[in-house]
Amino acid sequence: MNRAEATVYKERLLALRSRMCGDVDQLRENSLRKSRSEGNGEMSSMPIHMADIGSDNYEQEFSLSLMENEGAALDKIQLSLDRIEEGTYGVCDDCGAKIPKTRLNAIPYATQCVKCASQQEGV
């Protein structure tokens, strides 16, 4: 994978991370705001974070993977960003094979090829 290609995934990862972090902060913020506003009657409109990360399909696939384990996904996003910097992004952690782009498009923070990932899930 060349630099230009890696940059595309980097941007996706950054957008995804900020959206995920934003979601977490937003939940926390909303519950804080709720308890505060009971006191002063303040009505703040909820901020809507819509990260521009692409098509609806792309988002849907994310939502599915996000629901599985958001915390682990955040770790993997950071790991993937590090690997982009190192130039090792898109290479399977276990067997060293190239991770297919179709997989990276669906899960940009994938660190294993399909074969290794399915083997791990089976353990």
Instruction: Catalog residues that contact Zn ion under the rule CB under 5 A.
Output: 92, 94-95, 97, 113, 116
Least distance from Zn ion to the Cβ atom of residue 105, Å = 17
Cα–Cα distance, 44 to 30 (Å, whole number): 10
- Choice between 20 and 104, CB closer to Zn ion: 104
- Choice between 24 and 95, CB closer to Zn ion: 95
- The answer to whether 116 and 93 have CB atoms below 8 angstroms apart is yes
Least distance from Zn ion to the Cβ atom of residue 4, Å = 24
* DSSP three-state, residue 15: helix
Cα–Cα distance, 45 to 60 (Å, whole number): 26
- Choice between 31 and 118, CB closer to Zn ion: 118
